[in-house]
Amino acid sequence: MNTLCERLIIVSLIIIILPAIAMSGGAQESALPKVVVVTTGGTIAMKYDPVTGGVVPAVSGKDLIAAVPGLAKIARIETCEFSNIDSSQMTPEMWRRLSAKVQQILEREDVKGVVVTHGTDTIAEGAFFLETTLVSTKPVVFVGAMRSASELSPDGPANIYNAVLQVCAAEAQTWGVTVTMNQFINSARHVRKDETTNVQTFDSGEYGFLGYIVADRVIPFNTVWLKQKLPLPDSLPRVPYITTFAGDDGSLIRYVVDRGAKGLVVEGVGAGNVNKDVFAAIEYALAKAVPVVVASRVRRGGVYALYGDTGGGSSLVKAGAFLAGDLSPYKARLLLMIALAQPGMTKARLRTLF
């Protein structure tokens, strides 16, 4: 009799306690921040393919997340597959659509921030495009990998873990869009790829890292010193980017102007200088009302109105060209495209951007 009674008590306790335990686990889980991982492709989502003899897009968004141990302990993850391509195939139009998608996700109250997985070849441009056009200031962390999922010690899982950690970290809420790889956090404005085959490839030149992720913590070093915001346009104009070299006769510039370029970025030398023939070609573009931004092939130090003789930065500004300042030529190109797509954009307003 006693035994039956004891059994009944035990069974009743199990019926009452088990759901309570399960519920408290559920409550804990829903207290975790929600992070949406938007996947676009890149090496992070690639595997070796014996047919082509190289790595190719192979891993779905869900599988990418499943390969990251411990993620469920720091956030509730939702995935959204945008594309699965090598980032050499990315276009400004795709970043425009990505920006609209990410903005839509960030507007959700239940979302803490977004992680975008992206190929590293053009991740710096993608991050800069979103930084310029997103309205939401919630954290967006771009992340990729230098080693594919089928290599020895792929870097993707740790990079994704750190990116999610960063989105959730109190210390990392004001940076806007960053590129975070190999524990280092870079601003979208200054980040650049510096190595083609090494995991420590991204840095921010003389502007420095924003912070570092170690032992499940974000350690901030810097704030972002310049953010430029413009509304996301419906379409983007054609803006070529042309480099110059010793003996350049400027014919490529004249060619793209004659072919209907709406703006032009010229990669000059040094602090933003071009030779006399290129200067004349830039004057040709300006005379046809094609705005020209001059950047530099030198990676550090920026472009300024320092030299006064024909083709020097100062003479270019006097002729009506813009200087890219601290922006790389390819980011200056995106900024010019976004700016020229704004209704009623004026020369004076362009001057405030460059």
Rounded (10°) CA dihedral 221, 160, 145, 79: -130
Cα separation of 190 and 223, whole Å? 12
Q: Tell me how far apart the alpha carbons of residues 3 and 237 are, in angstroms, rounded to a whole number.
A: 83
Residue 119 vs 311, nearer CB to ligand ASP: 119
Q: How far is the CB of 42 from ligand ASP (least distance, A)?
A: 3
**Closer residue to ligand ASP in complex, CB, 75/130:** 130
Pick from 120, 273, 296, 328 the residue near ligand ASP by CB under 6 A: 120
Residue range at the interface with ligand ASP (CB under 6 A); choices 81-89, 206-214, 231-239, 248-256: 81-89
Decide: is 39 part of the binding site for ligand ASP (CB under 6 A).
Answer: no
119 versus 157: smaller Cβ distance to ligand ASP: 119
Which C-beta is closer to ligand ASP: that of 40 or that of 275? 40
Q: Give the interface size with ligand ASP as a residue count (CB under 6 A).
A: 10
The yes or no reply on residue 121 touching ligand ASP (CB under 6 A) is yes
Stretch that binds ligand ASP, among 1-9, 28-36, 115-123, 167-175 (CB under 6 A): 115-123
Q: CB-wise, 78 or 86, nearer to ligand ASP?
A: 86
What is the C-alpha to C-alpha distance for residues 71 and 62, in angstroms, rounded to an integer?
12
Residue closer to ligand ASP (CB basis): 83 or 166: 83
Catalytic residue among 39, 40, 43, 133: 43
CB atoms inside a 10 Å sphere around CB 319: 16
Residues 148 and 111 sit within 8 Å (Cβ to Cβ): no
Nearest CA to 142 among 188, 190, 189? Answer: 188
Residue 126 binding ligand ASP, by CB under 6 A: no
Sequential DSSP letters for 232-293:
PPSS-----EEE--TT--SHHHHHHHHTT-S-EEEEEBTTTB--HHHHHHHHHHHHTT--EE
Binding piece for ligand ASP, criterion CB under 6 A, among 29-37, 119-127, 204-212, 283-291: 119-127
Residue 242, both tokens: 């042309």
Residue nearest ligand ASP, Cβ-based? 119
Query: With the CA atoms of 307, 255, 297 and 241 taken in that order, what torsion angle do they form, in degrees rounded to the nearest 10?
Result: 120
Q: Is 42 in the site for ligand ASP (CB under 6 A)?
A: yes
Binding to ligand ASP by residue 86, rule CB under 6 A?
Answer: yes
Q: Is 53 left (phi over 0), alpha (psi -120 to 50) or beta?
A: left
> Residue 56 is which amino acid?
V
Tokens linked to 294: 């001059």
Residues in region 286-325 near ligand ASP by CB under 6 A: none
Write out the binding residues for ligand ASP, residues 136-195 only, by CB under 6 A: 144, 146
Does the annotation mark 3 as catalytic? no
The span from the CA of 253 to the CA of 280, in Å, is 10
Nearer to ligand ASP, 181 or 271 (CB): 181
The minimum distance between CB 202 and ligand ASP, in angstroms, equals: 11
Among 119, 126, 156, 268, binds ligand ASP (CB under 6 A): 119
Binding test (CB under 6 A) with ligand ASP, winner from 37, 39, 43, 94: 43
DSSP string of 74-134?
Answer: T-EEEEEEEEEE-GGG--HHHHHHHHHHHHHHHTSTTEEEEEEE--SSSHHHHHHHHHHH-
User: C-beta of 244: minimal distance to ligand ASP in Å?
Assistant: 26
Taking phi over 0 as left and psi of -120 to 50 as alpha, with beta for the rest, 289 belongs to left
Q: Minimal distance in Å, beta carbon 352 to ligand ASP?
A: 33
What are the tokens at 11?
């069974």
Residues of this chain that bind ligand ASP (CB under 6 A): 42-43, 86-88, 119-121, 144, 146
Catalytic residue numbers read: 43
